[in-house]
Amino acid sequence: MNKTFNVIVKKNRGGFYVLSVPSLHGCHTQAKSLDELLTRTKEVIELSLEVRNM
């Protein structure tokens, strides 16, 4: 099943992209590139949903 989430992406002073998923409390990640951020975003959302279903 596919789900859609709104995300917030900001670039910090250190050059890292920081992402949060407002609808999933505590769901955040960061990466140096947008490609890496996309990969990490998928992982952190999957893990967050898995923990909520335990």
Report yes or no: 44 and 51 within 8 Å, Cβ to Cβ. no
Q: How many CB atoms lie within 10 A of CB 22?
A: 10
Number of domains comprising the chain: 1
The set of residues, in sequence order, having a beta carbon less than 8 Å from that of 36 and lying 6+ positions away, is none
Q: Residue 1: inside a domain, yes or no?
A: no
Q: Residue 39: inside a domain, yes or no?
A: yes
Higher-confidence residue of 2 and 20: namely 20
DSSP for 1-54, written as a single string: -------EEEE-TTS-EEEE-TTSTT-EEEESSHHHHHHHHHHHHHHHHHHHT-
Q: Residue 21: inside a domain, yes or no?
A: yes
pTM comes to: 0.86
Looking at residue 1, its pLDDT comes to 72
pLDDT in tens, 9-48: 999 999 999 999 999 999 999 999 999 999 999 999 999 9
Containing structural domain, residue 22 = 8-52
Give me the CATH number covering residue 12.
3.30.160.250
Structure-token pair, residue 23:
């609808």
